[in-house]
Amino acid sequence: MTNVGTIILLTVCIGIGFVLEPVILGLRQSRKAGSTEADKPAKLEKKPEPQAALAPSIELDLTLVKPEDFPDKVALKETLYITEPKSGMTMELKQGTEIKPLRIEGSDLVYETIGIPLESRIHVDKTNFKELARPRMLARQQKEAEMKLAAEAPAPEPVVLDEAAIIALLKSELEAGKVTEFKADQVTAWEAGDEMEFDGQTYQTGLVSFQAETIIGLQQNKALALIDNGEVVKWLWAKTKLEMR
């Protein structure tokens, strides 16, 4: 009887073990999983980087900018990357890198890199193009306005001397030593001449008669003064029209 009771007791214990083992194993696995999850570091959520805003730009009407207003070089206000089409290599152009401006298309600046010539484009406000081009454009516009005013201004009336003024001018020229072929004490007559054309231009004239000693004796000569706008521009020998010294 004792053996039978022992066998029945063992059977019951084994049955209870089969029932409890999955439950206990499940609890262990659940605790292990919970421990593993707790041991893992918390993931940090990566926030998107804010886009760089364009720097405040000076006012400039790009349609008024001409090629002669372009500076030789401009500098980048931010780092950018461009790709070489043949090799596929990417080039980094850091903030402050100088590039060569080529032309304006809308709000973009078409440029060429320096050193390795690659053509690309960038928003003009991402460079200092406006800051450099504006004073050049204003200086050009000022010069053009001044030239236009000068072209439209009426030509000043030429100075026309009367006979007395011509004679006074001839005497002042001689006193100032502007002609050395004769002196004042050799002069026998001062007079205003007729207008004449010389080398395609019309001049007022003055005539000075004077005497000069030569190897054949005392000779009478005449000097011709060409007068333009109230000034003597040239002294000639009246007879030969050759220039006097």
Rounded Cα distance between 94 and 58, Å, is 23
Residue type, 229: N
Q: What is the pLDDT of residue 6?
A: 57
Assign residue 102 the CATH number of its domain.
Answer: 2.30.30
User: Can you name the residues that pair with 104 across neighbouring β-strands?
Assistant: 109
101 exposure class (CB count in 10 Å sphere: 0-12, 13-18, 19+):
buried
Domain edge (last residue) among 152, 180, 201: 152
Q: Does the predicted model carry a pTM greater than 0.85?
A: no
pLDDT digit string (tens) for the chain, length 245 residues: 455 555 555 555 555 555 445 444 454 554 554 444 444 443 434 444 444 555 566 889 999 999 999 999 999 999 999 988 888 889 899 999 999 999 999 999 999 999 888 999 999 999 999 999 999 999 999 999 999 998 998 888 899 999 999 999 999 999 999 999 999 999 999 999 999 999 999 999 999 999 998 888 889 999 999 999 999 999 999 999 999 98
Assign residue 171 the CATH number of its domain.
Answer: 3.10.450
> Is 212 inside a domain boundary?
yes
Q: Give the DSSP per-residue string, 119-155.
A: EEEEEGGGBTHHHHHHHHHHHHHHHHHHHHHHHHSPP
> Is 130 inside a domain boundary?
yes
Rounded Cα distance between 32 and 38, Å, is 10
Q: What is the pLDDT of residue 216?
A: 87
Rounded Cα distance between 176 and 244, Å, is 15
Q: What is the pLDDT of residue 2?
A: 53
Residues 148 and 167 in one domain: no
Q: What is the pLDDT of residue 11?
A: 56
Q: What is the pLDDT of residue 108?
A: 96
Q: What is the pLDDT of residue 201?
A: 95
Residues 202 and 182 in one domain: yes
Rounded Cα distance between 111 and 99, Å, is 7
> Is 216 inside a domain boundary?
yes
Residues 194 and 127 in one domain: no
Q: Which of 199, 196, 200, 206 is nearest to 235 (CA)?
A: 206
Q: Give the DSSP per-residue string, 34-53.
A: HHHHHHSPPPPPPPPPPPPP
Residue type, 184: A
Domain edge (last residue) among 152, 184, 213: 152
Q: What is the pLDDT of residue 147?
A: 94
> Is 49 inside a domain boundary?
no
Domain edge (last residue) among 152, 174, 206: 152
Domain span at residue 124? 62-152
Q: Check: CB of residue 165 under 8 Å from CB of residue 231.
A: no
